[in-house]
Amino acid sequence: MADGIPLNPMRKNSKRLPYYYSAGLPRFSVEDDSSILDEMPLMMSEEAFENEESDYQTLPRARLAQRRRGLGWLLLGAWKLLCGSCCDCLLRLCRRRKELKARTVWLGCPEKCEEKYSKNIIKNQKYNILTFVPGVLYQQFKFFLNLYFLVVACSQFVPSLKIGYLYTYWAPLGFVLAVTMVREAVDEVRRCRRDTDMNSQLYSKLTVRGKIQVKSSDIQVGDLIIVEKNQRIPADMVFLRTSEKTGACFIRTDQLDGETDWKLKVAVGCTQRLPAVGDLFSIKAFVFAQKPQLDIHSFEGNFTREDSDPQIQESLSIENTLWASTVVASGTVIGVVIYTGKETRSVLNTSSAKNKVGLLDLELNRLTKALFLAQVVLSIVMVALQGFVGPWFRNLFRFVVLFSYIIPISLRVNLDMGKSAYGWMIMKDESIPGTVVRTSTIPEELGRLVYLLTDKTGTLTQNEMVFKRLHLGTVSYGADTMDEIQSHIVRSYGQVSAQVTHQASSSTTGGTTPSGKSQTAGPRVRKSVSSRIHEAVKAIALCHNVTPVYESHGNGETESAEADQDFTDDNRTYQASSPDEVALVRWTESVGLTLVNRDLTSLQLKTPSGQILSFHILQIFPFTSESKRMGIIVREESTGEITFYMKGADVAMASIVQYNDWLEEECGNMAREGLRTLVVAKKSLSEEQYQDFESRYSQAKLSLHDRALKVAAVVESLEREMELLCLTGVEDQLQADVRPTLELLRNAGIKIWMLTGDKLETATCIAKSSHLVSRSQDIHVFRSVSNRGEAHLELNAFRRKHDCALVISGDSLEVCLRYYEHEFVELACQCPAVVCCRCSPTQKAQIVTLLQQHTANRTCAIGDGGNDVSMIQAADCGIGIEGKEGKQASLAADFSITQFRHVGRLLMVHGRNSYKRSAALGQFVMHRGMIISTMQAVFSSVFYFASVPLYQGFLMVGYATIFTMFPVFSLVLDQDVKPEMALLYPELYKDLTKGRSLSFKTFLIWVLISIYQGGILMYGALLLFESEFVHVVAISFTALILTELLMVALTVRTWHWLMVVAELFSLACYLASLAFLSEYFDRSYITTWPFLWKVSAITLVSCLPLYIIKYLKRKFSPPSYSKLSS
């Protein structure tokens, strides 16, 4: 696989070899021992070993900079560096940003704020009235093509340089600028209206004198704002009160984090307990909030009430916050504003996506520069042949203007219109319904992709979780044996019910469980399977963050269930931030134990017999990506027992649960089946144990420094020797047609990398089940490495593997990229597939950037969640899927699809057509300019190198527009193979990535065609004209128009009826214009036979040889696609 990469294998006498392959010893015990590393060098990085560890990341760039520096760098680069530094200094001075600080906010007293905070204004506009015109003009003229046309057009104001009529230069340029400015103005007006609507929304503000209405833009830090149900939250607030009896409410956050699940928010206890809303002004209280940050999932602050004795202090966390741009889903809420405008989480997280430029546009830009060089050289040759007589410098500039049509201004217009046409075709394709093109400037990129980087959950899989397996250590239950679990649950709760009835207990104590009796006997007597199932199901039904929500049939409003509500199954839905948790709760419902009610402090379950079990929630420890587990402490109301339940990933739970000999093996077995595993455990607590824990936990939550670490330390004190209850397996089903789509992409030569936050085993399993890794391929699992020595050894081991897929974790990837970036990427790029697991969103974007830098190939990223946005925006082409996780990825992407299987057609058919069509269109438009410039050169050389234009006025405008525009633009309808063939033979896609449709070779062929045809047309007209010079113009221009129409026909591979219409329409327009262009044509002459046969003869000589060459090439060296189309 990597024979070409000079990574030396370890020497046979390496002393470290036994340590590396020994299971019992660490792979590399002496970190960064350079004497040992020298025995097993990675050749590409030997130089790096001599440097300090802090220099590893900067080495490649530093060496590159050293190589580049010299006289050339001084002349070309130093001035850029100097100007750039000066500009940066000026910008920093002009736009000095205020430092963000922590703040103390008094309730309802904005005037008490220590400093002035930013206004609560939403502003998405790019320009204002003063900067609009300069801004748009700068964006247009910073590109070489447009700047070139501007300079040429401005030169016509100089009398000595004037070649023709002003409108022949300014009309096309003015048209392009007008279209651009109108488009920008429309977008700007839309943005302005949206901003005005948002800033003008009215909210109720609480004051000492009562409620008043204020605009969103007038809200200040410290204001008390009332937000009604289904109303947008206008600024970042701390949640003080709600109309809900539970003291909590749901909010929708899909516009902030892309997640469609509702989030539960909790009001500050001190203010929620106040008798009336007006009492908020009768207390003296303030909120201390940390400085504004990017992280939307964390918040640290304190609420302090000073006028009570003793002083009341409550810690504030993310569950007490209401971020701007979220929507209240239940009840009415009151909050105190802590951040406004630019300091809100939503604005801080809004990054302007980079302006993506397609590879085809860059290639055309290079060709344009080559044409400009040719134009200057041709002008110099003309002046040289004149003998540099007279004002030769002025003549040189006149020739540059004369030959300016070598670079046609219509190139940009045609390509932009073509891109819009491709986008329209993609969105109208019935085979991929729901597809949206959000970035219309890069459809050709879909036909040039080499790397496809995809998310797993929700992209390759459906993000629909189905409970598949329950393992208790000695017995395992699958989908076909769930009825046994149900019968055990019915039996165990039936026995409890019978005991309760016999003892004539009150109905509220109907939830006494066998588990309570067996807890004392647990260590001595082996529990029965029935009691173990009972405890496991009960733990799964209690340990979660799921809330049941009931739809009220009367008014259609959704509200959280109250204790006295009728808990019918018909109108119950579950809300949670994780679909895994919903799947678990639905499963407990299916086996007989149903979650019917939940609020902040209590939770109720319904048994198979219909009895209600009530639990008091004492503490909840939510799931985080760092802890990889969540826990809950509950007190059963009937018995008073306190139990700590916890569930989490096996890597996190293995060290927490009591010793067992089956957990690791069964986790591996489930992961190989493609199941997402969760370990469930419990621990019984005495009242004294819990009170001690609560006091330490409350104290840790109030600390202002290192709060998260202190809280985690207190919780970890509980997480010891927990009783292992069960292992659950949940399946995330594959999307429809994932396997054939991945096979199609692989056959097309696209290398697929799967980047996921999931664990290694599950990611590997999905890679196999989805056929991302074919059955014949080996998988190399990159061992976990933590330092340079381990990474060195593991890379050497990986180097010896051939044609195998790579699986690597995010932590190991980070270590490899730190020390061996170039070597690792070069090795990984030779793998047929790569799976990166435990990847953070930042790492995903970093991998995309690495591939772009090291391979110079085009990358495509595809995902469905908010965590994929950075990857999608970093890639050359971003595809978003509208999925269960919301629309954030879809809105941030260049192309939005509804299912992963649509990627195949999007790339194979639309990507192919867009690239092929744009390549043909771009080159033909350039040919159209080069042929008329060749004719001008011939004309000037014949007439003593005079800088006199051959065609003037309307002829030049008409040539680029009405006479040839429609047939040339109709090339956007051309296709070389049918869509069915492109999908049937994906191997055809490989040719596109080589860029053969638009290269210097194809460009040179078009240059030669232009020179040949231009020469024939001009020399033919000069040879055949008789008495008057006006006949030369008539003969040559008519032959030129006919030649262009015939060349379009020669270029077309598959005819469309609109192409025929365009050809006939353009010909009719030209013939009709002959009657009106009397100043250019002699009407009496153009209706004679000599004119007709001369035009026909010249046109035939210019086109016939090309038709013959095309026929011979098709016959003896046909392209790959022609074999299929025939």
Q: Residue 234 and residue 337: Cα distance in Å, rounded?
A: 9
C-beta of residue 905 within 8 angstroms of C-beta of residue 429: yes
Question: H or E element: which one contains 956?
Answer: helix 954-960
- The amino acid at 710: K
If 0-12 CB within 10 Å is exposed, 13-18 middle and 19+ buried, where does residue 275 land? exposed
Site of tokens 């050709």: 444
Q: Residue 13 and residue 343: Cα distance in Å, rounded?
A: 61
Alpha-helical segments (H) within 837-911: 841-855, 869-874, 888-892, 902-905
CB environment 1004-1034: b (16+ within 10 A), e (fewer):
eebbebbbbbbbbbbbbbbebbeeeeebbbb
Pairing of strands 547-551, 558-560: antiparallel
With CA atoms as reference, report the closest residue to 905 among 926, 927, 925, 879. Answer: 879
Residue 512: strand, helix, or coil: coil
Site of tokens 């701007």: 324
Pairing of strands 301-305, 285-289: antiparallel
Q: Which residues pair with 862 in a beta bridge?
A: 454, 879
Structure tokens, 360: 């085809």
C-beta of residue 680 within 8 angstroms of C-beta of residue 649: no
Active site residue 991: no
C-beta of residue 886 within 8 angstroms of C-beta of residue 865: yes
With CA atoms as reference, report the closest residue to 648 among 573, 751, 546, 543. Answer: 543
C-beta of residue 345 within 8 angstroms of C-beta of residue 236: yes
Helical packing angle, 410-428 and 359-386, nearest 10°: 160
Question: H or E element: which one contains 395?
Answer: helix 392-402
Q: Residue 1090 and residue 1031: Cα distance in Å, rounded?
A: 11
Q: Residue 1089 and residue 1095: Cα distance in Å, rounded?
A: 10
- The active-site residue out of 223, 254, 361, 455 is 455
With CA atoms as reference, report the closest residue to 610 among 593, 598, 597. Answer: 593
CA-CA-CA-CA torsion for 228, 232, 233, 234, nearest 10 degrees?
A: -120
Site of tokens 């001008």: 936
Site of tokens 């003080």: 240
Residue 315: strand, helix, or coil: strand
CA distances from 383 to 378, 406, 753 (A): 9, 18, 57
CA distances from 830 to 3, 805, 834, 877, 1054 (A): 10, 9, 10, 22, 37
Q: Residue 519 and residue 509: Cα distance in Å, rounded?
A: 19
**DSSP code per residue over 414-481:** HHHHHHHHHHHHHHH-TTSTT-EES-TT-GGGGGSEEEEEE-STTTTEEEEEEEEEEE-SS-EE-GGG
Residues 6+ apart with CB under 8 A from 724: 473, 657, 658, 660, 663, 679, 680, 681
Structure tokens, 57: 């990341």
Structure tokens, 403: 């030959």
C-beta of residue 396 within 8 angstroms of C-beta of residue 380: yes
Just list the catalytic residues: 455
